[in-house]
Structure 1
C-alpha cells in the first residue's frame, strides 16, 4: 500500500460525516418527487426560461425543475448533496435524451467548482433552504449569478396550515431537540430572514421580492399510501418514526399524519391524492 493510499484512508476515516448529506441520502426521495412533477413543470414554465439560458438548480433532487428547464432549451446544471438523487437525475436525463442538463454532487454552502457570475438563473425549490449556514447559502447563490441574473427560491413557511409545514411540525414533535446552534430551515419562509441573508450577500432590498405560491402534490393512490411513502422514503419523516418507535408513540404519529393527509386531500377521484401546499416564492435580481 502506498503512502498516498494510507493518507487517503486516514483522511476518510477522520472526515466528519455530513448529517445533511446523510439525511437526504436516507430513504429514496424520488418516491416523493414523483408526486411533484406536474407542479415542477408548471413553476418552471412561469420563469421565462429560454433557449441557451444558463441555469443552476440548487438542491435539485432528481430533476423536478431541472429537467423541465432543460426541455425548454436551457443549459442546466443540477447540484444536490445526495449522491443517490444525483445518480437518479442523470438517469432521468439520459432516459429523456437530454444532453443539455447534468447533475453533480455539491454543497449549497460551498459551491466549489462553480465559477463566479456564471448563471442567468439560479433556482432552488425546497432545496437550499434545508442546507445549514443560510448566510453562506445566500452568499454562494449570489456569487454564481451573473449581474442582471435572477435567483428564484421556493421555501416552505413556518406555521403554515398546509401540507409540508404541517408534516415537518408534526414530525418535530416526535424527534429529539436539534443540536445547539441549529438554524431551522423554515426561517427561509420568513421574509425578514430572507432579506437579512441576501442583504448580507450584497443585494439591495428593492431587488428582493416575495409572493405566496402553491405547489400541488398529485398521486395515483390514496392519502394513506402517501403517508406510507413519507414514512418509508422521506428522511425527516423516517427519523421521526424511528424516534417515535423508541418512545412507543409510532401509532400516534401515524394517526396524526393520516388525519393531516386525509383532511387536506382535494381530489374528488377515489384512491387518488391531490394536496396543495403554500410556499414563499423569493425572487432576487442580482
Structure 2
C-alpha cells in the first residue's frame, strides 16, 4: 500500500464527508450537467459530488484510492437505486485503466490535489477528458485564513517533517503552479480559469464535537494527534483546534456548526 492510500484509508472520511454534502450538491448544481453526460469524479470519496451529478442524469464514474471509501460510495448508490453511478479504486497519478478522451466532464473537489505527483495528475486529467470537455478542480489555498488551510497548517506543526521530495497538496491552490502543471499536459494558460469559492462544513453538533470527528476520522489530523500524543502535546493540539473551529463557526445555534472555507476553483477547457 502506498502512503497516500494508507492516509485516506485511515479512519473513516465518510464521517467528515457528511458535513460537506450540501456544498457538494450546490457546486455540482452549477456545472450545467445534463442527462447522459459522461462524468469522472476523481478522488471522489463516498460520493459527495459524484452522487449529485448522477441525480442530474449524468453517467458517473467515481475513482478513489481509498478502498473503504469506494465501498461506501457503492453502498450509497445501491441504497439509492442509482444505476448510472459506480465507484472503483484508482490512483489519480496513473489512470491507465481509463481510455483517452473518455469523459465530457472531470471533477476533482479536494481529491486529486492530495495525490503525490501533481504533474502526472494534470496529465492524466487532460488525457481522459475529451477535447472540448471540461476539468473542474476544487483546491484548498495555502495560508488562507479560513478553516481547512488553517487546520492543515496546525496539523503540520504537530507532525514530523514530511519525507524528502514531498510536494504539499496545498501547492495546487497556487494559480502559477496550476498553470505550470497543466502546461505539462499540453494546456495553454488561456484555457485555464480561476475563481475563489466557498465550501461549508455543516454539522448538527457543536464545534468541539466536530473537532473530535476530525481527530478520530480524518487521516491528516489523526496523524498529527498521534504525533502530538507521543510528544505529550495532545492537549495543546486539541485546544488549538477547538479554538480554530469555534472562531470560524457561523452557526447561530449553540449546538451546531457551520464553517465556511475558501477554495480555488479551477476550470480547464482542453
User: Please, what TM-score do these two structures have when normalized by structure 1?
Assistant: 0.94
Partners of 1:238 and 1:129 in 2: CA distance: 19
Q: What is the CA distance between 1:269 and its match in structure 2? A: 1.2
Unaligned ranges ≥5, structure 2: none
Structure 2 distance, partners of 1:200, 1:59, is 21
Instruction: Say whether 1:210 aligns with 2:194.
Output: yes
CA RMSD of aligned residues (A): 0.4
Counting only pairs closer than 5 Å after superposition, residues 101-112 of structure 1 correspond to structure 2 as 101-112=85-96
Q: Distance in 1 between matches of 2:261 and 2:80?
A: 28
Distance 2:109 2:94 in 1: 18
Structure 1 outlier segments of 4+, above 3 Å = none
User: Which residue of 188, 203, 214 corresponds with 1:219?
Assistant: 203
Q: What residue in structure 2 maps to residue 48 of structure 1?
A: 32
Using the alignment, how far apart are the partners of 1:20 and 1:202 within structure 2? 26
Match of residue 72, structure 1, among 56, 59, 67: 56
Q: Distance in 1 between matches of 2:117 and 2:202?
A: 32
The yes-or-no answer on 1:62 pairing with 2:62 is no
Q: Could you say which residue in structure 2 is the equivalent of 1:165?
A: 149
How far, CA to CA, are the matches of 1:22 and 1:230 in structure 2?
16
Structure 2 counterpart of 1:129, from 90, 113, 116: 113
Unaligned runs of at least 5 residues, structure 1: 1-16
Deviations 1:98-152 (A, max 9, x none): 0000000000000021000010000000000000110000000000000000000
TM-score, with structure 2 as normaliser: 1.00
Q: Which residue of 2 aligns with 1:96?
A: 80
SS in structure 2 at match of 1:36 = helix
Task: State the SS of the aligned residue for 1:112.
Answer: coil
Task: Pick the structure with greater CA Rg.
Answer: 1
Counterpart residue number, 1:21: 5
For the pair 1:251 / 2:235, whether they are aligned, the reply is yes
Q: 2:159 matched to 1:175?
A: yes
Report Cα offsets for 1:129-183 as digits up to 9, x if no partner: 0001100000000000000000000000000000000000000000000001000
Provide the C-alpha distance between the structure 1 equivalents of 2:60 and 2:75, rounded to a whole number of angstroms. 15
Aligned pair 1:274/2:258, yes or no? yes
Q: Deviations over 1:6-64 (max 9, x none)?
A: xxxxxxxxxxx300000000000000000000000000000111100000000000000
Count how many residue pairs are aligned between Structure 1 and Structure 2: 270
